[in-house]
Amino acid sequence: MSVLTWTIILVSITFALYIGIAIWSRAGSTKDFYVAGGGVSPLANGMATAADWMSAASFISMAGLISFMGYDGGVYLMGWTGGYVLLALLLAPYLRKFGKFTVPDFIGDRYYSNVARTVAVICAVIVSFTYVAGQMRGVGVVFSRFLEVDINTGVYIGMALVFVYAVLGGMKGITYTQVAQYCVLIFAYMVPAFFISMIMTGNIIPQFGFGDTINDGSGMYLLDKLDQLHTDLGFAEYTSGSKSMIDVFAITFALMVGTAGLPHVIVRFFTVPKVSDARKSAGYALLFIAVLYTMAPAIAAFARTNLINTVSEQPYAEMPQWFTSWEETELIKFNDKNGDGIIQYVANPEANELTIDADIMVLANPEIANLPNWVIALVAAGGLAAALSTAAGLLLVISAAISHDLIKKQINPDISDKAELWWARGGAVFAVIVAGYFGINPPGFVAATVALAFGLAASSFFPAIILGIFDKRMNREGAVAGMVVGILLMLFYMVKYKLQGFGGGTPDDWWLGISPEGFGTVAMVFNLVVAVVVSRMTAAPPEDVQELVEDIRIPQGAGDASAH
């Protein structure tokens, strides 16, 4: 069967599974809608958290970034993995013990202020929409290539699916859908990796094949061969780094604290019955995430090696079907500058004739390696699972911010549970529509990298949460001032250096040599300093709030702490 037929079969089966789960587990109360009733098992929550966190950025983009950036791409592995450990150890158990539905809920109550709650809502919406636009665009790209439809049509299909299980099922539906999506995405990631590792190195385990010799008779190790291919084409060695140390540190740290401040990941830890379960689910999630993350560098190296061997110095007329198929999406472009019909893929931009979007590397990898059509279609289903699982979690954050943190907590405190649930579903509908718009018309800075969403989370939420847990002297004035300064500074830097037509925009102009992807670290430091200084210059929090902060950190009886 053709790739299209296999894709239709596998995508239809997985979509039917997701919708069936949503109908089976639909929310009947606001607690079901916001935190899945608080009764999710640690194992299921670990899988759902892994799927929620491993977005299209992890599944589609990360190995692609590493394949083009080489050593420098390691910042994404270090930052995202380290951030998850930080979240699991420093934040998740304490936030679960606090027992609220959302991050703005925690900030509003901890800082005894609706102003703080409103600022947190605005930050949550900005972070979530920045992140979700990339997910919806990823859905459109996958549909465009593998179902042979327009990218915008792909976005509409994704919107319709997320609409069903996010609006109908809420967190309860999303949780069990994400369990299924994790199984789909990890299987889709592993199968081609096993195939290609065996073909290229004779070692079926990709993590071992990454450090093994290749099966071309040369006896060279894979990375040595890749270094040679790079230098022959004028590129820097694959295993060498070109980024400045300060930028590597800034990006890694921004991704770490940004991960720990992502509202759609944090809310997952509110869905388990006990604080001890939050710790267990964090451990499970790290294990499930590690399966994909330890495989990504190997997939990146395999894909890069196969790509260069396939296209470099080859006649354009003899390119395989996958090349022309991806050309139709405009993610690969060939410009025959010298008119000889031979593809010149070199580092020199004046002589280079081939432009390749890094996002195609994972999706095209099975095709480049000439794997069976069902494997190619499986990767498409996995990419959709990764994008849709994260999109659903983000949309729920936006929905809860509208219904719970604005309507219930501020505008109409006496609203009934049923009315609040209607507002929650209405908020989800609104979020789906806006997310679809950004997926079809992505702002330049969003399309560039979802790393910016992590910078926004780092600059706004992380200091307010960490100080709210560990500094009982931190008050509302400090928290609000810090969040406002942090996110405005980050937004300013993003607009200035990522959005065309706003002045700067070149690495030579970056402050301290730090890229926009890493500037979240600087904005976070400003947030922390402003928050601490303002809090010490203004009145201390009320005694009951200080006692609450002490109580959150008490470890005794953690297993029974869900009463808080």
pLDDT in tens, 346-378: 888 888 999 988 878 888 899 888 899 999 899
Residue where a domain stops, chosen among 352, 368, 384: 368
Residue where a domain stops, chosen among 368, 392, 408: 368
pLDDT at 201: 92
pLDDT > 90 fraction of the chain, expressed in percent and rounded: 23
H helices present in 148-244, as ranges: 151-162, 168-201, 206-209, 222-232
**What is the residue-level pLDDT of the chain in tens, covering all 564 positions?**
888 899 889 988 988 888 888 778 776 677 777 776 677 889 998 998 888 877 777 888 788 888 888 888 888 888 888 888 888 777 878 887 877 767 888 898 899 988 999 988 888 888 887 777 777 777 777 877 787 788 788 888 888 887 776 676 677 778 888 888 899 999 999 999 999 999 999 999 999 999 999 988 888 999 999 999 999 999 989 998 778 889 889 989 998 888 877 777 888 887 888 888 888 888 898 899 989 889 999 999 999 999 999 888 889 998 998 898 888 877 889 998 888 889 899 888 888 999 988 878 888 899 888 899 999 899 988 888 888 777 877 888 888 888 888 888 888 888 888 888 888 888 888 888 888 887 777 654 334 546 677 888 899 989 999 999 999 999 999 999 999 999 999 988 888 877 654 555 567 778 888 888 889 999 999 999 999 999 999 999 999 999 888 888 765 444 444 444
Say whether both 356 and 471 belong to one domain. Answer: no
Is 2 inside any structural domain? no
Say whether both 318 and 462 belong to one domain. Answer: no
Question: Per residue in 172-189, is it b (16+ CB within 10 Å) or e — as a string?
Answer: bbbbbbbbbbbbbbbebb
Say whether both 356 and 379 belong to one domain. Answer: no
The mean pLDDT value of the chain amounts to 84
Is 78 inside any structural domain? yes
Is 1 inside any structural domain? no
The secondary structure of 13-63, three-state, reads HHHHHHHHHHHHCCCCCHHHHHHHHHCCCHHHHHHHHHHHHCCHHHHHHHH
Residues 6+ positions from 418 with CB-CB distance below 8 Å: none
- The string of DSSP letters for 375-411 reads HHHHHHHHHHHHHHHHHHHHHHHHHHIIIIIIIIIII
Say whether both 472 and 527 belong to one domain. Answer: yes
Length of the chain: 564
Say whether both 293 and 308 belong to one domain. Answer: no
Say whether both 100 and 129 belong to one domain. Answer: yes
Alpha-carbon distance of 276 to 284, in angstroms, equals 13
Is 3 inside any structural domain? no
Residues 391, 34, 106, 488: is their CA dihedral positive or negative? positive
Say whether both 394 and 251 belong to one domain. Answer: yes
Per the structure, the complete domain to which residue 339 belongs is given by 304-368
pLDDT at 559: 47
Residues 6+ positions from 303 with CB-CB distance below 8 Å: 63, 64, 67, 361, 362, 364, 365, 368
Say whether both 353 and 266 belong to one domain. Answer: no
Alpha-carbon distance of 99 to 562, in angstroms, equals 7
Is 272 inside any structural domain? yes
Say whether both 299 and 155 belong to one domain. Answer: yes
> In sequence order, what are the beta bridge partners of 342?
315
Residues 6+ positions from 245 with CB-CB distance below 8 Å: none
Is 4 inside any structural domain? no
How many domains, the chain?
2
Is 405 inside any structural domain? yes
What value does the CA radius of gyration of the chain take, rounded to a whole number of Å? 24
Which residue reads 């719970």 in tokens? 404
Which residue reads 């037509």 in tokens? 501
pLDDT at 210: 93
Residue where a domain stops, chosen among 347, 368, 389: 368
- Residue 505's nearest CA partner among 515, 514, 513, 497 is 497
Is 462 inside any structural domain? yes
Say whether both 356 and 483 belong to one domain. Answer: no
Structure tokens, 304: 């890069």
CATH number, domain containing residue 470: 1.20.1730.10
Say whether both 336 and 427 belong to one domain. Answer: no
Residues 510, 512, 513, 519: is their CA dihedral positive or negative? negative
pLDDT at 443: 55
Residue 481, SS3?
helix
Say whether both 132 and 200 belong to one domain. Answer: yes
H or E element that contains 455: helix 451-470
Phi first, then psi: what are they for 215, rounded to 5°? Answer: -90, 55
Distance of CA 256 to the CA centre of its chain: 12
pLDDT at 561: 42
Instruction: Give pLDDT tens digits for 253-267.
Output: 998 888 877 777 888
In this prediction the pTM is: 0.82
